[in-house]
Structure formats: structure tokens, C-alpha cells
Amino acid sequence: MIFDIALYAALIIFGIGVIHKIDTWFLLNVGTGERNIPITRRFAAGARAVLSSVLSGNIISIIKVFFVDVLFQARILRDNKDVLAWIMHICLFWGFILLLVFHALDKYFATAISPDYQSTLNPWMFLTNLFGLVLLLGLALAVIRRAVTKRGQIKTTGMDVYAIAILFVIVCSGFVLDGLKITSLTEFEAMVEDYGDPEDAEATRALEALWVAQYGLVSSRVTLPVSEEVLSAGKEVNEASCVDCHSRPQSAFISYPLSRILKPAAAALDRAGFRTLLWYIHILACFFGLAYLAFSKMFHIISTPVSLLVAELSGKDQPAAAAATRRMIELDGCSHGGACHEKCPVRQKRIERIEDSQAYGPMYAFLNIKSARELGSREVK
């Protein structure tokens, strides 16, 4: 019940934020050009621009931009020549997207790929750990760039700290939570209650012994080493009731070692309900991140790809209504994500004025602008 309420609340807040962003894109103006263009005219102009680009054969260029500049972040490497920044963005982008698709939304996507999907089966345990590690690497590189290699060149705001911190909490709490689940006797007993035969005490004891010996379970009722006879009986029960949903967790190359580190305190943590507390922390961090996504700098994971695709859609003789909307979308991607467009006049001026232009993009011209609304209809010169 609490899970559903928190999820729907986060989705509603996220939806309000997206509507606010789109409202900004279509209502405000930036730069020179015609002013006070009705929103209906701007919507219509945008739709016509998309349709004309598709019909004119520009769809090939759009697909190219999507794969090269959005999925593989080539614009960062091409414009800034900063390999570390490119690796960081690749790790953050793909780690976040893959965890979202194959973990947070696994019921919708992973099951479509594999009808027999279970998060406790392989290769999903291994892949979840891999995606989490990739995201952690991206976060570590973000900290290193801001604190060491680009110190003084990249301004770190409270929003930047929040974005790194919330993702760090989500990933780390997820790893520890998985480690605790591996050791949890409560989880094991719930599994037996739901899918086994609790009335068959001998079979349950054999299965428990097998899980202590091979699955990382912590139980004071089992003393290692376990006899071959008990292991053999446990394997029979396991193959009949468990292997379709649970693989041995050693392939979870981060969560399993964590479970071994936590092993001395596992029983006490399980009795204290720490696993449940950590689950709430993990889930609420995810929902809080989702709710705040559209209001934070993290929204550039959406606005930057849109900005790059809109730039590719734009024709040479674009109507004023479409150009006004395009400039607002590009400003969003630029000021929040550093998506630099080659023809941007601010970018050109920065290149002229700054000797080491590789470290800068047009986003730095807008560091003191808290939002596009504050910019209003002022001209950016």
C-alpha cells in the first residue's frame, strides 16, 4: 500500500514537472526574433517541422544523431576532446538507463525479453550488478572531474551534489539490500512458506542446509560442513521447487561479496528488521529521485537528447514559431547538460574568448540563470 502510494505520488510530481518544462519550451522566448507568438502557432509549427523533416528524407540524419550523439554521446568526445568526460557520461547514461529498464521496470521490459524472467536468476543477477557498477564508475568519475582534474573550471552547485548523492544512495543501498537478502533467514522461510512444503520438516531442513552451504544463507540451525547425504537430499528439494526462480548468487559479483562481509552480523540484522528499513530507504530514494527529476539538472538526460534531435530537425529557413521553440529546448539542453551546438553564437564567443576552449561549452554562459523562466524574453548576446 505504501509502495503504491509513494510510486503514484512520485509519478504525479514527475508529470507536473514535465508539463512545466514543456510549458517553458512553448511559452517563453530567448534570443532575437519574433515575440509573443501564440502557443497554438508554435505547436503547429513544431509539428510541421517534424513532418517535413521525415517526408524530406531527413529521418536518416535524425536516426544517425540518435545513435551517435544520444546513445553513444559522441558529441562530447568530438567537441570537447575530453575522454574522461565522455567515459563519465557513457557510464552515467547507460548505467542509469539499463538499471531503469532491466531492474526498476523489469516487470515491463525484462519479462518481454524473457518470459521466464526472475531477478534472482542468471544472467539477470550478474547484469544488475554490472549495470550498478557502471553507474558507480560514472559517479566516481564525476566527483574526480569536479574535485581534481577540472577543479575550478566546473562550477559545482547544490543541484550537482544532490544528483550525485541520490544516485549514490540508490545504487549502494541496492547492493547492500541484495547482500542482506542472500543471507536472510526470514527471506528463506518466506520462500518456503510460499513455494515449498513447510509441513515436510525433514525436506525443509535439508534445503536449508544446502542454502547455507551453497547459496550464502546464514542460519544458526545449520553447522558446516554439511554431510553429503543431507546435501543430496537438499539438492532434490531445490531442483523440484527452487531452481526455476533462484540461481546460486555467486554471479552477483558485488552483492555476494557484500553478503560475506555482512555475514558475522547477518543474523542480528535480520532479526532487527534492518533489511526492511534498507528497502524503504532504497525505494523512497528511487521515488524521491523520480519526483525531483523534472525539476533538477538530471532532467538533461531527457532535454539534451531532445535538444540534439531538434537541432537536427531544424531546417535553414525555419519559421519563426518553430525557431522560438527550438531555441528554448536547446537552451534547456545547453544550460543543464552542456549540449553544445556548432552554430550557437554563445559557443563561438566562448571559443574566441577562452584559450582552453575544450573545457567550456555554452552552458557556462548561463550558470547564473536559475531557470528558463527567469531568463524570460531577454536576449542572449
**Cis? peptide before 123, omega within 30° of 0:** yes
Q: 27-53 pLDDT, tens per residue?
A: 877 766 677 788 888 878 777 777 776
298 vs 97: CA distance, rounded Å: 13
Residue 59 lies in a domain: no
349 vs 162: CA distance, rounded Å: 31
Q: Is 226 exposed, middle or buried (0-12, 13-18, 19+ CB in 10 A)?
A: middle
What CA–CA distances, in Å, run from 121 to 208, 251, 290?
Answer: 19, 10, 27
Mean pLDDT lowest among 275-279, 288-292, 374-378: 374-378
Q: 198-227 pLDDT, tens per residue?
A: 778 899 999 999 999 999 999 999 988 999
Q: How far is CA 205 from the centre of its chain?
A: 41
What is this structure's pTM?
0.81
Residue 236 lies in a domain: yes
Which domain does 260 fall in, by range? 181-292
Tell me what the mean pLDDT of segment 220-249 comes to. 92
pLDDT score recorded for residue 106: 85
| Residue 22 confidence (pLDDT) above 70 | yes
Contact status, residue 187 vs residue 218, Cβ threshold 8 Å: no
Residue 15 lies in a domain: no
Residue 284 lies in a domain: yes
Q: 340-349 pLDDT, tens per residue?
A: 555 555 555 5
Residue 79 lies in a domain: no
Residue 348 lies in a domain: no
Tell me what the mean pLDDT of segment 165-173 comes to. 95
Contact status, residue 299 vs residue 329, Cβ threshold 8 Å: no
67 vs 64: CA distance, rounded Å: 5
Residue 190 lies in a domain: yes
User: How many independent structural domains does the chain possess?
Assistant: 1
Residue 272 lies in a domain: yes
